[in-house]
Structure 1
Amino acid sequence: MQLAEARSRLLLSQQAPASPYPVHNKANLKQSAVLLGLWDGPEGVHIWFTQRPMYLKHHPGQISLPGGKYEDGDTDLTQTALREAFEEIHLKPQQAEVICRMPTHYSHTGFAVTPIVASIERDFSPIADPNEVADCFSVPLSFFLNSENLHQMQVQRNQTQYPVYFMPYQGRLIWGVTGAILYQFSRSLI
């Protein structure tokens, strides 16, 4: 799939499914945003990811999309995602063209995470901030469109069942809220 086709499918999809995670008190959640950055690679569309350093207090070593918490200076969550992508991988806002905003996902760690989908200039080369990012890499969208690569299991937390989505990719494990976002995103393209 090429970027133009992915963009068209996203914009034509009627309604993406809601977050699979139950929310008991949305008022106390910290607003945050991630950038689901798409770029046209040699084998079709790719998605940019980061890996968090092991020394971080929250989610050490996890695979994530560039992003973070909403700050008072941000005008909206789109600006949050673009600001964080610049801080983490040096993606300048003018190198990203926002396509759409996906439904918010809720984490058990107290965050409301809103994915912002954008097309990224093909010649962008990430420069990881070593204080926030241990590694930066991309995965072909076709990997997520293949249902054999998408796994889920039911877990129970506080007497509530919810799905956990995970996708092993070349020795890395994409899971949690990032996995749920990718599951929802890939299903909206089919």
Structure 2
Amino acid sequence: MARATEPWAALAAALTRSAPASSDFDLSPEAAPPNRRLRPAGVLMAVEDRPDGARIYLTKRSPALKHHPGQIAFPGGKQDAGDPDPVAAALREAEEEIGLSRAGVEVLGTLPPHETVTGFSVTPVLARVAAPFEPVPEPGEVAEIFAVPFGHLADPGNYTVQARRWRGQMRHYYTVPWGPYYIWGATARILRGLAERLAS
């Protein structure tokens, strides 16, 4: 009998449910700049089943980075010329950033794209870690790799809305804190979208 903590059936069902694209401006549409052009990117939502329950891998970005220093993010990045699609970009970046071999990953599907304030259309790629995996952070880009319990991120009740001033305007955003980690912005919004689909 499958353990109650195994998320695979729930994730498969969630992927069949339709949902609109999301944006960093969902909660503050007045802050969205006009005539914006978005570049394609992909992030990997890597889910691993463990004896104590499933977890999703996240990273803490290096404080030395120019963009989003010290923030919590999925492994991933922009689609390069050699990437046929955002899924390939997410798999390549995860291999580079956290040492997760694409050969050890089973792609389950994708969520609707998410627009970021930095001008990217990000495709979240939902995947199962299908082989033994020892995280290795990429020097200079990733300060830390950690895994958050799937149940915590799948519960819409764990998300709150907060606000801060951004480019002279107040911008509202989702947060889903866990332990010492302040998960917010695009990462929290993408996770919130998954939680909504799981709960529906």
Task: Output the TM-score relative to the length of structure 1.
Answer: 0.89
Asked whether the equivalents of residues 17 and 184 of structure 1 are also in contact (C-alpha less than 8 Å), the reply is no
C-alpha change, 1:132 and 1:4, in structure 2 (3 Å) is same
Match of 2:21 among 12, 18, 21: 18
Aligned to 2:7: 3
Residues 127 and 158 of structure 1: is their aligned pair in 2 closer, same or farther, counting only changes over 3 Å? closer
Shift of residue 158, structure 1, vs aligned partner: 8.0
Deviates more, 1:150-159 or 1:132-141: 150-159
Moved over 4 A (4+): 154-163
- 1:42-75 CA-to-partner distances (Å, cap 9, x unmatched) read 2322100011010100000000000001100101
1:187, distance to aligned residue in structure 2 (A): 1.2
% identical equivalent positions:
38
CA contact (8 A) 1:3 1:39 kept: no
What's the counterpart of residue 196 of structure 2? 187
> 2:35 corresponds to which letter in structure 1?
N
Provide closer, same or farther for how the CA distance between residues 107 and 80 of structure 1 changes in structure 2, counting only shifts above 3 A.
Answer: same
Runs of 5+ consecutive residues of structure 1 not aligned to the other structure:
none
Alignment of 1:27-176 (within 5 A): 28-121=37-130, 123-153=132-162, 163-176=172-185
Deviation at residue 157 of structure 1 after TM alignment: 6.5
Cα shift at 1:114:
1.1
Q: Which region of structure 1 is more displaced relative to structure 2, 172-181 or 118-127?
A: 118-127
Q: Secondary structure at the match of 2:22?
A: coil
- Residues 103-149 of structure 1, C-alpha deviation per residue, up to 9 Å, x if partnerless? 11111121111101111125211111122100001001111233332
Q: Deviations over 1:1-41 (max 9, x none)?
A: 3132233222332x123304356435x22211100011112
Aligned-partner Cα distance in 1 for 2:166–2:72: 22
Normalised TM-score (structure 2): 0.85
Letter in 2 for 1:60: P
User: How big is the alpha-carbon RMSD for the aligned residues of Structure 1 and Structure 2?
Assistant: 2.1
The residue type equivalent to 2:176 in the other structure is M
Residues of 2 paired with 1:185 and 1:110: CA distance? Answer: 22
Deviation at 1:163, TM superposition (A): 4.2
